[in-house]
Amino acid sequence: MVVGRFAPTPSGRMHLGNIYAMLFAWAKSRKFGGEIVLRIEDLDKLRCPRSNAEILIDDLYWLGLDWDKGPYFQSERIEIYKKYIEILKQKRVTFPCFCSRGELHIANAPHTNDGIYRYPGTCRNLTKEQIAIKSFWRSPALRVRVDDRVICFEDEHYGIQKSVLDKNSGDFIVCRSDGVYAYHLSVVVDDAIMGVTEIVRGSDLLGSVPVQLYLYELFEFERPSYCHIPLFKVADGRRLAKRDGDLDMGTLRKKYSAEDIIGYIAWQVGFIDKWEKMNKSEFLSVFEIDKLPMNDIVLNYNFDL
């Protein structure tokens, strides 16, 4: 059975891009009689207060996007992540890293394609003594060491992807210096434990798959399937973002019905020719992932939204 998931980070109100990603995760699973897990990714407690999660859950109800298991809150699953960090330590693939973000920028690490700094390996080979001295001044982050291993997978929408770990990301963080478990670790552990078989999400996360699949390997979990979808953009090429106050659920709910929003998304992705109201079962009947473009989708705001 297909098990999909919603994995929102409640750092603000959902915008149209988030709604579209949830709608696609929902439809992809439901179309084949699958289940959905709802997991709230609120490890960063300062950015993600519980009140935001409550509003987000209410927005999902309002949209009619239902789920079968959850909500699970990552902030309540710390003990689980701790156990998996221990497994990585036992496998001797981790090392403490004392670099601050600023230092890494000064080190002028080579960029990956996404404009993300690749870790230059500064703390990779510290001696026990060096670690002891540095620990006195600063608590370290924990990184997983990677090598030139090639990771291959087939994305259902973007096709076969191949990536060399140390070129793609460099050694990656699994626990931040403030003790917060990092996204790659928590997402892999949770998806595996929760039995998620299919991950549908925005193409901005396509580049994180190799690192995540490497963790699947280390933990000996079974791989899920991936389907990344193009992002929604506004006319000037900018991605939708919570911080820019882009059409969020607060604004949308005042003016539109859930059917207006679902129909608008169906229109923007090319499932229908014009904007019309659509309920979720009608959306399921036109849903065809193959019709989605590869490039990001520039939203048509040429009407009174």
User: Which residues of the shown chain bind ligand GLU in the complex (CB under 6 A)?
Assistant: 7-9, 41, 187, 201, 205
CB of 220 to ligand GLU, least distance (A): 20
State the Cα–Cα distance between residues 217 and 203, nearest whole angstrom. Answer: 22
What is the residue type of 202? G
Choice between 110 and 245, CB closer to ligand GLU: 245
State the Cα–Cα distance between residues 218 and 147, nearest whole angstrom. Answer: 13
Choice between 9 and 169, CB closer to ligand GLU: 9
Choice between 161 and 257, CB closer to ligand GLU: 161
State the Cα–Cα distance between residues 229 and 27, nearest whole angstrom. Answer: 13
CB of 102 to ligand GLU, least distance (A): 25
State the Cα–Cα distance between residues 298 and 305, nearest whole angstrom. Answer: 15
Which DSSP string corresponds to 162-180? EEEHHHHT-SEEEE-TTSP
Strand partners, 154: 160
Structure tokens at 143: 């990184």
Choice between 41 and 171, CB closer to ligand GLU: 41
State the Cα–Cα distance between residues 237 and 176, nearest whole angstrom. Answer: 32
CB of 101 to ligand GLU, least distance (A): 20
CB of 264 to ligand GLU, least distance (A): 21
Choice between 7 and 240, CB closer to ligand GLU: 7
Choice between 4 and 140, CB closer to ligand GLU: 4
CB of 41 to ligand GLU, least distance (A): 4
State the Cα–Cα distance between residues 163 and 151, nearest whole angstrom. Answer: 5
CB of 9 to ligand GLU, least distance (A): 4
CB of 212 to ligand GLU, least distance (A): 8
* Cβ contact 187:226 at 8 Å: no
Q: Is 273 helix (H, G, I), strand (E, B) or coil?
A: coil
Choice between 81 and 98, CB closer to ligand GLU: 81
Instruction: Give the pairing of strands 150-155 and 159-164.
Output: antiparallel
Choice between 196 and 261, CB closer to ligand GLU: 196
CB of 115 to ligand GLU, least distance (A): 17
* C-beta neighbour count of 283 within 10 angstroms: 23
State the Cα–Cα distance between residues 76 and 17, nearest whole angstrom. Answer: 27
Cis bond upstream, residue 293 (ω within 30): no
